[in-house]
Amino acid sequence: MLRPLWNTFWSEALWLPPNVRWSDVAPGPGKAVVYTDHRHLFLAVPFSLLLLALRIVLNKYIYAPIGKAVGIKHDRNIKLFSNHKLEAAYRANPASIQICALAKQLDMSERQVQRWWRRRRLQDKPPALVKFCESCWRATFLFYNLVFGWLVLWDKEWLWDVDYCYIGYPHQGITNGVWWLYMVALGFYLSQTLSLYTDVRRKDFWQQVVHHAATLAIMCLSWVCNFHRIGSLVMLSLDCSETLLEATKATKYAGYHRASDYMFAAFTALWIATRIGIFPYYIVRSVTYQVFAYLPPFPVLQVQIFLLWVLLALNVYWTWLILRLAYRALKHGQVEGDIRSSSSEFSDSSTTAHAPNRDRQIGI
């Protein structure tokens, strides 16, 4: 019963340019080049599990000890008296609770309820050490992937002239270096997607979900139809600024505010150069327009074009948040807030210091 659906999904008319057959790009002996094998995509699962295990080990034996050594708090130690009715109201719907009505019901002053509410929220926020370890792990892997990507692609002609991503397609061989770059990066993005639900939840959580899903889809689709050259360029352009972003966060959590401010300035410049400059002009524009000078349109190519525009839209959204944070930094002399999600959870010290004023602003 599923055979017709399976055949339709793997139709050559969907995945390949006209007049190209699966047999033409199937890996095997006697071929002029080494073609990608779609079955290798399943290797992303064990790679992701290995990376998750490596992350746990590094967090326990390297990142956490370093964080504690530089004085990052690993617990909040917030004193809070037990009140079952307040706890029930907090868990039910903390956003819509009426402080005045709750205070009368419990025979407490509004100020007492406000104070309890504020401390209860602080209890739910993860310690700075947890966020420090998360950023250290991402910065470590992204730096490795960026360096490895440059080493692998430095002598590749398509890195310097994107037209070579289309010249000779689909008969473009894949090297061992590009194979490892793809497989390890796929494992990382898959592990990041899985850990989104257990990591510190940011305000841009759903944007991150869309970003990871679009990136994974581009990499998988480009691998299956042997369009891996564009996929490698997308990875390289995304990792450049992302590495510095996570390093800036880790420095901020560690309390080196002056250094993090300088790194934030460098990150902002690099982000705009790569995400708003190189990515749309060098990659998105090329795949949207220049590609059809060499290839006829086919469905999977058009899907990849759409996904690239999704990534570009997310880049524009995050750039607006970054510039807004940069404006606040110039105005107040210090970066406050999560760099990309503009979340107040970024700095524990700034969150605690400004909590009373913020509570009064929202009526709690």
Q: How many Cβ atoms are within 10 Å of 301's Cβ, its own excluded?
A: 23
100 band by pLDDT with thresholds 50, 70 and 90: low
349, pLDDT greater than 60: no
- What is the average pLDDT across 332-339? 60
| Cis before 170? omega within 30 | yes
Q: What is the pTM of this model?
A: 0.81
Q: Are 342 and 329 in contact (CB under 8 A)?
A: no
For residue 66, give the 3-state DSSP assignment.
Answer: helix
Q: How far apart are the first and last CA of the chain?
A: 59
337 band by pLDDT with thresholds 50, 70 and 90: low
For residue 19, give the 3-state DSSP assignment.
Answer: coil
Supply the pLDDT for residue 364.
28
Tokens 């800036």, residue located: 248
Supply the pLDDT for residue 354.
37
CA 14 to the chain's CA centroid: 29
60-74, 101-115, 196-210: which has the highest mean pLDDT?
60-74
pLDDT tens-digit readout, 107-145:
677 677 677 666 666 666 778 898 999 999 999 999 999
| Crossing angle between the packed helical segments 299-332 and 228-253, to the nearest 10 degrees | 20
Tokens 């996929």, residue located: 231
What is the C-alpha to C-alpha distance for residues 215 and 58, in angstroms, rounded to an integer?
A: 25
Residues 6+ apart with CB under 8 A from 191: 48, 49, 51, 52, 55
Instruction: Tell me phi and psi for residue 156, to 5 degrees.
Output: -90, 130
The more confident residue out of 290 and 364 is: 290
| 222 burial type by CB count under 10 A (0-12 exposed, 13-18 middle, 19+ buried) | buried
Q: Are 141 and 245 in contact (CB under 8 A)?
A: no
Question: DSSP letters along 67-127, please?
Answer: HHHTT--S---------HHHHHHHHH-TTS--HHHHHHHHT--HHHHHHHHHHHHHHHSPP
Q: Are 345 and 200 in contact (CB under 8 A)?
A: yes
- φ/ψ bin of 244: left (φ > 0), alpha (ψ from -120 to 50), beta (otherwise): alpha
273, pLDDT greater than 60: yes
pLDDT tens-digit readout, 1-31:
688 888 888 999 999 999 899 999 998 888 8
Find, among 244, 177, 174, 183, the residue nearest to 216 by Cα. Answer: 183
Supply the pLDDT for residue 327.
85
